[in-house]
Amino acid sequence: MTAWRIPTFDDVKAARKRIEGIAHVTPVLTSRTADAQVGAQLFFKAENLQRGGAFKFRGAYNSIAALDASTRAGGVVAFSSGNHAQALAYAAKLLNIHSTIVMPNDAPDMKVAATKGYGADVVFYDRYTEDREAISRRVAVARGATLIPPYDYPDVIAGQGTAVLELFESVGELDLLVTPLGGGGLLSGSALAARALSPGCKVIGVEPEAGNDGQQSLDKGEIVRIPVPKSIADGALVTHVGEHNFPIMQANVDDIVTVSDAQLVATMRFFAERMKIIVEPTGCLAAAAILHGVIACSGRRVGIVLSGGNVDLATFAALIGER
C-alpha cells in the first residue's frame, strides 16, 4: 500500500493478518444496567484493554509491519498527544527499531512516561503555537526515518478497522455502530468494516463539543480546520480530520455528533462504578452519546467502541470524584 492510496476493506483484512497473535482480541462487554437505561442491546468493544491501553496499537503495529526491512531500519517518527505515541513506541520496540515521538508539552504525564518507557525519544512542542506535523517532518528527514501520522495514513486506518472487524465477528450484524472521532483513523477504519460486514448498519462518530471539526466537515462537504480545542478528551484535540480519512467518512459515515466534558465524566464514572473498568475521557465519547441520549437507539443492537484507558490515576480520581 502506498502512503497516498485510500484504503479499502481488503486492507483491513490484510492488517488483521499482520497483527494476528500480536494485538489482543479485546473482549466485547455488556451491561444490563446500560441496556435498561437506553432500551437497547449494547455491545462495548473494550479497546481500553488493548496492548498499550488503546486501539492505537493496531494501526501502529500494522503500519510498521507493512514497511520493508530497509525502510524499517531507518526508524519511525510520529506526532501524538499520547495514545499513538505509546502505541508506535511499543510497536517499534517489539519490532526492534528506533522511534521518535513529537508530543505536546501538556500531554498527560502517564502517557509521556509510558512512551519513554517503551524506548522512544520524545521531542516536545507547544500545541497552541507550534505545528506538530512540520516539526515531525523535519525530525523524520534529519533522522532518515519514516513518518507515521496518528490517523492520516492508510495502514493506520486499516489497522484501526480491525477492532470493529472483530466486533462484528463476535456479535454479528448491528443496527448502529458508534465510535469516538479525533482525526478519523478509528471512525474511517471502522466504517470500512461496517459497510462490508453489516451493510445496513448506521455509522456515527462522536467528538467533544469543543472540537467539532469533523461534524462541520461532514456538513460542509469539505475538511474544515478549527483552532486547537480545549477538552478533557485529550486524544481528540485535533484541528482537522485527515485527507485519507475524510473521503471514507463522506462515503460511509451517517452522522457525527458531540458530547460535553460533563457527559464524559459521568460516563467514566458509570464504567468505574457499574462495569469495574477504567476508560479515559476520549475513550468514553461514543458511549457518552448513547448513555446520555444524544443518539437515539431504542430497540436497536448497538456497537460502541471504548477506544482507550490511558488516563492518569490522579486525574481519573479527581474527575469521577466531582458531583
The span from the CA of 323 to the CA of 321, in Å, is: 6
Cα end-to-end span (Å), the chain: 49
Q: Is 211 a catalytic residue?
A: yes
Question: Hey, how many other C-beta atoms are within 10 angstroms of the C-beta on 259?
Answer: 27
Q: Is 207 a catalytic residue?
A: yes
Task: Put the strands of the sheet holding 76-79 in their side by side order.
Answer: 121-125, 99-104, 76-79, 146-147
User: Which position among 47, 52, 56, 63 bears the catalytic label?
Assistant: 56
Q: Is 109 a catalytic residue?
A: no
Q: Is 170 a catalytic residue?
A: no
Strands 28-29 and 41-46: antiparallel
User: Which position among 47, 155, 213, 280 bears the catalytic label?
Assistant: 213
User: Which position among 63, 80, 81, 99 bears the catalytic label?
Assistant: 81
- Cβ-based neighbours of 36, under 8 Å, separated by 6 or more: none
Sign for the pseudo-dihedral over CA of 249, 250, 251, 252: positive
What would you measure as the largest C-alpha separation in the chain, in angstroms?
56
Q: Is 56 a catalytic residue?
A: yes
User: Which position among 152, 155, 207, 234 bears the catalytic label?
Assistant: 207
Q: Is 81 a catalytic residue?
A: yes
Q: Are 225 and 213 in contact (CB under 8 A)?
A: yes
The span from the CA of 232 to the CA of 261, in Å, is: 6
Q: Are 214 and 256 in contact (CB under 8 A)?
A: yes
Active site residues: 56, 81, 207, 211, 213, 307
